[in-house]
Structure 1
Amino acid sequence: MTLDRWLSRLPIDTPSPLMKQIPTVLGFVVALALTFVPGVVRVSLPPYILAAVIVVVVATIAAVVVPWNRLHPGWTVAVPVLSLLGIGLLRLGTGGSASPFVVLTLIPFVIIASEPGRRNIAIAALTTLVVLFAPLFVDNAPTTPGDVVRALFSPLIYLIVAMVVNELAHRMRTQLTAASAAAQEREELLQQAVRAQDELVLNEARLKTANRLISSIWNAVTEQSVIGTDLDGIIDVWNPGSEKMLGLTEQQVLTARRSVTDFYLPSELEDRLRDMDARFTTVASADSFSALVDTVRAGSADIRDWTYVRADGKHVPVQVAATPRLDENGHRIGFIFVATDMTQAREFARLKDEFVGLISHELRTPLSSILGYLELMRDDDESPLSEEQLQYLGVAERNAHRLLRLVGDLLFTAQVESGRFPIEIRDVELRSVVIASVETSTPVAANAGVTLRSDVPDEPVELRGDALRLGQAVDNLVSNAVKFTPSGGTVTVSLRREGDEAIVAVTDTGIGIPAVELSRLSQRFFRASTATRNAVPGVGLGLTITKAIITAHGGRLEIASEEGVGTSISLRLPVSTPEAVAEALPGAGATL
């Protein structure tokens, strides 16, 4: 073991009483050895030398065996005090005032003075005073004035030295504590830096792996268009799927700072703005973008059918999911539009519509025949049926009528999708249409425990349209409202005129519809999640038919709902522009 390594193991910063005692013992042993050399030191009183040895040995043993760590730190000064008294006895035995070993007092004196606390200054000075004054009382030699002056002046000097040593030791301890704290802090900072470096390397590796994964996924998304924009609709994200779907590269789009509305069909944006109660002769860019993100700004994702316009002018039917784009703090910094090409899906839907229309048309004839024969059986006077048979016949007839209505709805929706269904436009008094719908649904509402109210004006509300189709639209809304309202609820049907529009509003206190599903209510066969959870019967065609009828009359459908509170659906029909009615649905077979 080298000297440096040995010294590094010694508690130099906080030495024990034994460590402090070793210099004193070494000096005392050397002095004691000199007393045995003839002619070097005059031994005047051997008993005092023996007593000095005993005191120093006791002090050294105490430094070893006493558990100083269990005692108050101030008691450790007892060891150097005993040693200083032992040196005083050695001085008395080797000539008193003339002893050459007075210099040994400096070692325990400095140890006492350097201990923490100002009281140790007094202890060092008083103990040294005892050692220096003792020869004046023990020696038989006459005392000179010089001896008295030395005996008084030396303790004063020792007192001053004790003060200086104590202050220097105090400052050294303070600096040592600060240095130790700084070293410990540096060590902790170094360890933290090492850990941070390790975490940084690990995170960097994870980030590179994640970036490679994201890049691979991003480049693999070629069947969906993913477009990212800022808050104003300027495109800053353009994936390979967008390039494939719209015919422009990422560099072409980002360099030109294109707006996302540039790739939408303007007429669809205008229709959406009209649905939002915004009427414009020409649509500004900012307003067009609002048509895309109005629902998203309100806090909901928006899934809607649109038509993209490619760079070569071709139209691509798509379904677009618009969602907010957030930063690391959750603040909205833009929008994301994920579009799926619906060309094949639309073709499949067209074929399905043709099939549904064909099957529906073929089913109407046998169903009508079944109903005819059921009626003949019920009205046969020559072979009357029993009450039980009539009851069974009634069940069959009701279900046949229900099936015939369903077939009619399917056939109607197929005609709507193909762009051709018959309407007969003539003068219609809308007030009577609404009253008739309320009267038709009143028994059903009463059986369901729902209060059905009507609020119609006394004066007539006239317009041009198909009374049968308009009655069908109002019937659908009222029957839906009654069906989706629990027992004890209320359904209110109102009619009013605002400017050049007639408004039929059906409001209920039913189960409501989630906000994210409102935009899909007019899709065929779509049913709200609240209807599914509450097991409300239906196939999801009522609102599809209603919207088609209202659109054919140049009007529009407005829906407001809150889950658990209720739903309000309004039909807005024009009353002053009959020309728009015949032209509202291209290809509709209108009979004037």
Structure 2
Amino acid sequence: MKDRNSPDISFIEQVAERFGQVYFSFDTSTKTFRHISPGFEQVLGISSESIKASPHSFVNYVHEEDIDFLAHKYTSLLLSHEEEQVEFRVVLGNQEVRWLCVSAVMVQEGDQQLIAGLAEDITEYKEYIRNIMKYNNKKNSTLEILSHDLAAPFANIQGMINAIEEQIQAGEADIQQLLNFIKQDALRGSDMIRDFVDHEFLESSQVVLHKERVDLCNKLAIMMDNYRERQSRLAKSFHLVLPERPVFLYLDMMKFLQVMNNLVSNAIKFTPDNGNITVSVQEEEGHVLVTVADTGIGIPAKVQPHLFERFTVARRAGLRGEKATGLGMSIIKTIVELHKGEITFQSQEGVGTTFYIKLPKE
């Protein structure tokens, strides 16, 4: 008779499969699988029955570079009886490479020793980590190049400022040419930075989301504090309106902050001095509403329908001549939609623009 306190294997399997995991047990003496969850086929497209009928055939799916490593881990588990967690690659029939994470432990059943554990497809997680490392390395190398390239225009600016000071002291009034040189070098430097930021923003929208539960209000408060510290230099006032309680959402916060920073950056570019930029968060039924509002020059009515298009005709230089690529708003829309959200806007020329982002409560 079954002990009513013992776990129901079918129930455990159902729970594991809901989380993308596969349960298995392997008899070390007969070298056969005692059990493999039916979900094995859903995870990898390989029939669990075929693997049970011919256990060694699973090795044929293991990436050739990982076979020795997997064999070493198997031997280590047999000798130590310590829990092992191993990540390795499998190659499916269509040559698609997938990553598996297997957590296994030795268990005793009568006089037989079994290896029991869970297998999970971690391909998307591995891809996310790979992209993070790739972009981090790229960022570091690009920043090195950028700092080198910016050294020349900034050195020129410093030299011309010194020349202007000398002319002022000598009573010479004709300094317009030097001022024009400073303006050109400053614009060239800012264009380099803008190109770098735009390119990073574009590439970051093309990778898998890594969502985690975050306090959205806390993250936006930190972001807006950074703008408030510079508001005197930016000649704008920054405001943040938050609900009394924290708002928790599952977001890829790094990408969502890129969206928010881009919207605020656009607001800065198109808001005259002494204008206001306000970010607010409001909980509504079924979703959270995030808004970015400015008192800027607004978006011309004729280009509003094209605002979210790639390389849109709606692109405009900022009030101080800041460069525009026409990609920013399309990338913002992509990232918001990856979060299953929606972005809309209202704008009136001479009055300002407000962007609305609706994010679902999961």
TM class by smaller structure: 0.3 to 0.5
- Point out the structure with the larger helix share: 1
* Larger RCO of the pair (alpha carbons < 8 Å, separation 6+): 2
TM-score, structure 2 as length reference: 0.47
TM-score, structure 1 as length reference: 0.30
